[in-house]
Amino acid sequence: MKLRLRCTDATSHITLHIKNITVHEATVRITSASDQGLLVDIVNFAYDTNRQFLIVNLNKQLVPKNDYNISMKFLGLLNEDLNGFYRSSYVDETGRTRWLAVTQFQPTDARKAFPCMDEPALKATFDITLIRASNMTSISNMPIHHTEDRPNNNKADVYQTTVNMSTYLLAFVVSDYAFKANNATNTRFSVWARSGAMEQVEYALYAGPKTLDFFETYFNITYPLPKQDMVAVPDFNAGAMENWGLITYRESALLWDPKLSSPASKQRVLTIIVHELAHQWFGNLVTPKWWDDLWLNEGFASYMEYIGSDHVEPTWKMADQFISQDLHNVLELDSLESSHPVSNPVNNPDEINEIFDSITYSKGASIIRMMNMFLGESTFRKGLTNYLNAFKYQNAEQDDLWRYFTEASKEDGFNIDVKLVMDTWTRQTGYPVINISRDYDARTVKLIQKKFFLVPIGKNVSRTEAWHIPITYTTSVSNNFFDTRPQFWFYANNESITLNEHDGIPSKDEWVLFNIKQTSYYRVNYDIENWKLLIQQLESNHEVIDVINRAQLIDDAMDLARASQLDYNIALNLTNYLVKEVEYLPWDSATTNFGFIDDMLSVTAAYGKWKKLVAQRLKPIYEKIGFVGKDSDSHLEKLNRVNVVGWACRTDNQDCLRHSSDLYKQWMDNPSDDPIPPALKRTVVCYAIKHGDELEWNFAFERFQKSNVGTEKDILLSALSCTEKPWILGKYLMLALNTSSGIRKSDSSSVFSSVASNSIGRPIAFDFLRDKWNLIKELHGSSFFAIAKMVKAVTQSLNTRFGLKQLNDFVEMHSSALGTAKRSLQQAIEQTEANVIWMENNFDIVNAWLLRNVS
Catalytic residue numbers read: 276
Helices vs. strands in the chain: H and E counts, helices first: 28, 29
Distance, CA of 849 to CA of 575 (rounded, Å): 13
3-state secondary structure of 292: helix
Angle in degrees, 0-180, between the axes of helices 377-391 and 202-219, rounded to the nearest 10: 90
CA nearest to 215, candidates 381, 68, 103, 89: 381
Euclidean distance between CA atoms 757 and 794, whole angstroms: 7
Q: Is the torsion defined by CA of 540, 545, 548, 549 positive or negative?
A: negative
Task: List CB contacts of 462: < 8 A, sequence separation 6 or more.
Answer: none
* DSSP secondary structure letter of residue 41: P
Beta bridge partners of 482: none
C-beta of residue 368 within 8 angstroms of C-beta of residue 266: no
What span, in angstroms and rounded, lies between the C-alpha atoms of 271 and 316?
A: 11
Q: What are phi and psi of 438, to 5 degrees?
A: -110, 140
Q: Please state, in angstroms and rounded to a whole number, the distance separating the CA atoms of residues 403 and 601.
A: 50
Distance CA 515, CA 500 (A): 18
SS3 480: coil
- Kindly report the length of the chain: 855
Q: For 243-265, b where at least 16 C-beta lie within 10 A, e where not — what string?
A: bbbbbbbbbbbbbbbeebbbbbb
Q: Which amino acid is it at 267?
A: Q
SS3 145: strand
> At 432, which amino acid appears?
P
Give how far the C-alpha of residue 347 lies from the chain's centroid of Cα atoms, to the nearest Å.
23
DSSP symbol at 245? T
> Could you give the CA distance from residue 305 to residue 308 in angstroms, rounded to a whole number?
5
Q: What are phi and psi of 7, to 5 degrees?
A: -80, 125
What is the distance, to the nearest Å, from the Cα of residue 422 to the centroid of all Cα atoms in its chain? 22
Judge contact between 810 and 769, C-beta under 8 A. yes
* Backbone angle region of 36, left / alpha / beta, with phi > 0 → left and psi within -120 to 50 → alpha: left
Indicate the DSSP class of residue 289: S
Q: How far is CA 645 from the centre of its chain?
A: 25
Angle at 74 between CA 69 and CA 75, to 5 degrees: 160
Cβ atoms 171, 248 nearer than 8 A: yes
